[in-house]
Amino acid sequence: MNAIRSLLMNVRRALAGAGEVVRYSLIFLWGIFSPKAVLAARLLAAESQLAACKHEIAAKKCPRPRFTPGFRRLWVVLSKCLDRWEDLAHLMQPATVKKWHTRAFQHFWRWKSCRKGGRPPISRQMQGLIYQLSKENPLWSPERIHDTLVLLGYDPPCADTARKYMYKPQKPRKRSTT
């Protein structure tokens, strides 16, 4: 039941975010075809409301605004499309927008790698074999272990994955003289 509820909540959030993006796109298209005088008046109205909002936030009369996912996506796109976009970000720090961009990039790559299934899991037997070879031959590189496993007739993981399962000797601790 919880899985269905969480699925429905995620679908609802995705549709709400898509709706915001469509709304922002329509506002942008309307702005393209509007006369300059109308745009200047709208800009003045928005800037005056923003100044009042910033004043109330600074005076601690009003809590800091919570930004929606659509708003965050809009600012990520604006940060990539506009020069000197930092001058336009009044309610948030430019570092916050950069953090949103980093998080969006991480989500994108996580989605892309999960879509393909990611790396296949490695069996416990293969992990143990890699560990044993690296412990018995401490000078061998992950590439050498990979090549040895191929020669032995196994289907080993790539050398970078093998590196995770190699033996790592513990460095002796220096004893304190106190």
Q: What is the pLDDT of residues 19-41, one digit of tens each?
A: 888 888 888 888 888 898 888 88
| Residue range(s) defining the domain that contains residue 15 | 2-112
Percent of the chain with pLDDT over 70: 96
Tokens for 16? 């709400």
Query: In terms of pTM, does the model score above 0.85?
Result: no
Same domain, 50 and 79: yes
Same domain, 105 and 153: no
Same domain, 81 and 149: no
Give dist(CA 75, CA 90) in Å, integer: 12
Residue 25 belongs to a domain: yes
Tokens for 80? 């990539």
Residue 23 belongs to a domain: yes
Question: Where a domain ends, among 68, 84, 112?
Answer: 112
Residue 171 belongs to a domain: no
Same domain, 95 and 131: no
Which of 116, 149, 119, 153 minimizes the C-alpha distance to 131? 149
Residue 119 belongs to a domain: no
Give dist(CA 165, CA 127) in Å, integer: 6
Please check the confidence at residue 175 and state whether its pLDDT lies above 80: no
**How many folded domains does the chain comprise?**
2
Same domain, 90 and 30: yes
Give dist(CA 147, CA 115) in Å, integer: 29
Same domain, 67 and 11: yes
Residue 117 belongs to a domain: no
Which of 88, 65, 69 minimizes the C-alpha distance to 23? 69
- Across residues 52-64, what is the average pLDDT? 81
Same domain, 90 and 24: yes
Tokens for 52? 């009042």
Q: What is the pLDDT of residues 65-121, one digit of tens each?
A: 888 888 888 888 888 888 888 888 888 889 999 999 999 899 888 888 777 666 778
> Could you tell me if 100 and 72 are in contact, meaning their C-beta atoms sit under 8 angstroms apart?
yes
Which of 113, 140, 117, 120 minimizes the C-alpha distance to 129? 140
